[in-house]
Amino acid sequence: MDTLQGYQNTKYIESISETVPPLSLSRSNGWLVPKIIPGSNEIDLSATNPFIICQNPDSLIHDFESLSDKYVALTVITNPIYEISKEIWSSYFKDLFVPFKSHYLVEIEKYQFERTVSQHHRYYSRKALKEAAITLAEKPIDYLDDFYYLYQQLLVRHDVCASNALSKKMLAQQFNVPGVKMFVARDDYGIQAISVWMQTQDVAFYHLAVSSETGYKKSFAYGTMKTAIDHFFGEGTRMLGLGGGNSIRTKNKIAVNSGLQSFKAGWATLSTDVFLCGRILNPEIYNALTKSAVKTDSQFFPLYRG
C-alpha cells in the first residue's frame, strides 16, 4: 500500500501519466513521466507536475545518470525546497539550464499575518472572510462538479486553449489523492471559489484554484489563502510552496500571469529561483527528430516539441 501523500503518491503520478506507465527512480524514490513524442514512436521524460519531487533528493542525479538512452531527452524543473546547488544541477543538465521563474514560499516558523503579509493582502483577506464562509472540505471529491464548473469559467476568462485544459477525469483522480486539501468559499448564492493543495510530508503545495466571476470580483481567493495558511500553521507544516507566476497559453500567444505572481508574492516570506533543465539522452534520435521539426529556431526544449 502506498503510504506517501500528495505529489509523491502513485494516484497522483497515474493521474498525469499518459499511455506509458510512470518511471520509478529507485535511489531517490521519485518518479518521471514518459511521454510519446508526437509523430513518432519515441519517448522522452519529464518531471511530475509541477517540478521534480522525491523522498531522497541527494540521490536524484545518480538516478538521472542511470537513465537509458531508449529515452530521447529529459526535462525537469528544479524543486525550490531541495538544498541542491546550481552547480550540481548544471553539471548534469549540460544541454539546458536556465532560470525559469521566481517561486514563492511561506516559511511557517517566520509567518506572521500582521508582519509578513502585505498590507494589500491583509485588507482583501479580511474583506473576503467577512463576505464568505470558508471551510475545509471533508471529501474533496464531493466538490468535483463545483470545481469543474468554476474551472470552465476560468478557461473562458483567460482564453485558455482547450488542449491545455485539465480533464474532469484527471481532476477526479487528483481529488482522491491522499494528502489533498480543499478550501471552499461560499456566499449566500453558492460556492464562489475553491483552492486545492497537495500536502507531501511536511510541505504543502498550492496546486489549483478557481473562482466564479463573483468570487473573482470579491477577491475570495485571498480568503481561501488565509484560511489555508492558518490550517497548515496549526498542523505543524514546515513550508508552503505557492508556485510562481504562471505562463498562460492562450489561443494567440503565451502570456505571463503577473497578477497571479503578485498574489503569491504578497503572502511569501521567501522567494527563490527555479531552473528549467534539459538533457539529451539519445543524441542521434534527438537530432533526427529536431531536423523534422517545423520551427528549428524555437526556444523550447526539447526542440522537437516547439
Determine the Cα–Cα distance for residues 147 and 124; give it in Å rounded to an integer. 22
Q: Among 3.40.1500.10, 3.40.630.30, 3.30.70.60, 1.20.970.10, name the CATH number for the domain at 111-268.
A: 3.40.630.30
For 73-103, what is each residue's pLDDT tens digit? 999 999 999 989 999 999 999 999 999 989 9
Q: Which residue has the higher pLDDT, 118 or 291?
A: 118
Does the pLDDT at position 255 exceed 90? no
Q: Work out the average pLDDT over 271-290.
A: 95
pLDDT bin (cut points 50, 70, 90) of residue 298 is low
Q: Which helix (H) or strand (E) holds 173?
A: helix 168-174
Give, in degrees to the nearest 5, the angle at Cα 117 between 113 and 123: 85
Q: How confident is the model at residue 49 (pLDDT cuts 50, 70, 90)?
A: confident
In order of 19, 154, 155, the CA distances from 161 in angstroms are: 22, 11, 8
Full-model pTM: 0.90
**Location of each CATH 3.40.630.30 domain in the chain:** 111-268
Whether the bond between 140 and the residue before it is cis, its omega within 30 degrees of 0, is no
Q: Residue 146: which region, alpha, beta or left (left: phi > 0; alpha: psi -120 to 50)? A: alpha
Give pLDDT, residue 233: 92
Q: Which of 72, 81, 80, 75 is nearest to 93 (CA)?
A: 75
pLDDT score at 305: 85
Tell me the pLDDT tens digit for each residue of 185-213.
999 999 999 999 999 889 999 999 999 99
pLDDT more than 90, % of the chain: 78
* Cell matching residue 170: 484527471
